[in-house]
Structure 1
Amino acid sequence: MTPSDNADLFRLVYRSRSAIAGDAEAVQQTIDAVVAASQRHNVQAGITGTLMFTGLFFVQALEGPTAAVEAIFDRICCDLRHTGLEVIECGPVLEPGFGNGAMTYVVPDAVAGALLDRMGVEVELADAAAAAMKLMAVLVRTGPCANEPVQNFAA
């Protein structure tokens, strides 16, 4: 994005609980399909994004023009593959914080994923959301993407 593109830069980050049924392979196939569809839709809408899936929770960040982010989020809200959708952050921002790809998919390693899943039920939403966003931002800046678990991440 160029500086003039940032004049209407809007970020929306949400967390939801997975409702995808099936064994690990079926779940991964569904996630792969979601990422592929998101990449196509986001490119068309001029949106960048990052999706993190812990096995129990999704955390997704969308950044781009306000109207485009809101339209994509409206569609996301109707998706039956997740429940309990909670907005973590929503509003204008000065610069992108979650990469510049149409949809980056990050996978926390088993320890970080388990920690995030446990936080989802043991701590307040604000604390869990802040931890999830921090992890996702770190993974986007430093880590492998597209199904490669991030190793040695300490919260």
Structure 2
Amino acid sequence: MNPLDTPDLFRLVYRSRCAIAGTAEEVQRHIDRILTVSRHQNGQAGVTGALMFTGLFFVQALEGPTFAVEAAFDRICCDLRHSNVEVVECGPVLESAFGDWSMSHLVPAADSEALLDRVEHDTDLADAAATAMKLMTALIRSEQHASGSAQQFVA
């Protein structure tokens, strides 16, 4: 992607603690609803990104025009299905990490435990951001390689 094609490409990555109560199936239904709404709203706003749920935390990356990413994040901050929202990365980027997918769903693989632990517990935000993007990018690449599809990633 040529940086001139997207002169205002902005990325925001946050992590938050899940506040959804219920069984694993009930939590998954909430996440499915989040993804459905996000894909619709993000598609209309020109925002792309990925949502990863670790079982305890959400990690989400949003990319697009600054105003659209900030508007999406404002809505996210008001959502009571999570708490302790913490921005781990925020700023302009030269290229998208998520292509044109309005919202990918990343499910960490079992062998990602060490990275997940760092995403969930690292108090240094720069380290948490780097780890989150490393894990998301690895999940995207492994799924693209395995299936050639990019709408929902389950690794």
Deviation per CA, 1:104-136, whole angstroms, max 9, x where unpaired? 101002342x43453323654433332122101
- Do the aligned partners of 1:17 and 1:57 also contact (CA within 8 Å) in 2? yes
User: 1:142 maps to which residue?
Assistant: 142
Sequence identity percentage: 60
Classify 1:133/1:3 alpha carbon distance in 2 versus 1 (closer, same or farther; 3 Å): closer
User: 1:31 maps to which residue?
Assistant: 31
Classify 1:47/1:55 alpha carbon distance in 2 versus 1 (closer, same or farther; 3 Å): same
User: 1:53 maps to which residue?
Assistant: 53
Classify 1:86/1:19 alpha carbon distance in 2 versus 1 (closer, same or farther; 3 Å): same
- Do the aligned partners of 2:106 and 2:153 also contact (CA within 8 Å) in 1? yes
User: 1:12 maps to which residue?
Assistant: 12
User: 1:73 maps to which residue?
Assistant: 73
Kindly tell me the number of residue pairs found equivalent between the two proteins.
148
Classify 1:4/1:40 alpha carbon distance in 2 versus 1 (closer, same or farther; 3 Å): same
User: 1:115 maps to which residue?
Assistant: 114
| Residue ranges of structure 1 left out of the alignment (5+ in a row) | 151-155
Indicate the RMSD between aligned Cα atoms, in angstroms.
2.1
User: Could you say what secondary structure the match of 1:62 adopts?
Assistant: strand
User: 1:92 maps to which residue?
Assistant: 92
Classify 1:137/1:49 alpha carbon distance in 2 versus 1 (closer, same or farther; 3 Å): same
Distance 1:118 1:61 in 2: 18
How far 1:137 sits from its partner (Å)?
A: 1.3
Which residue identity is paired with 2:30?
T
- Bigger mean CA deviation after superposition, 63-72 or 115-124: 115-124
With the length of structure 2 as denominator, give the TM-score of the two structures.
0.85
User: Could you say what secondary structure the match of 2:75 adopts?
Assistant: helix
Classify 1:147/1:92 alpha carbon distance in 2 versus 1 (closer, same or farther; 3 Å): closer
- Do the aligned partners of 1:50 and 1:99 also contact (CA within 8 Å) in 2? no
- Do the aligned partners of 2:63 and 2:96 also contact (CA within 8 Å) in 1? yes
- Bigger mean CA deviation after superposition, 136-145 or 80-89: 136-145
How far 1:18 sits from its partner (Å)?
A: 0.7
User: Could you say what secondary structure the match of 2:7 adopts?
Assistant: helix
Distance 1:3 1:86 in 2: 28
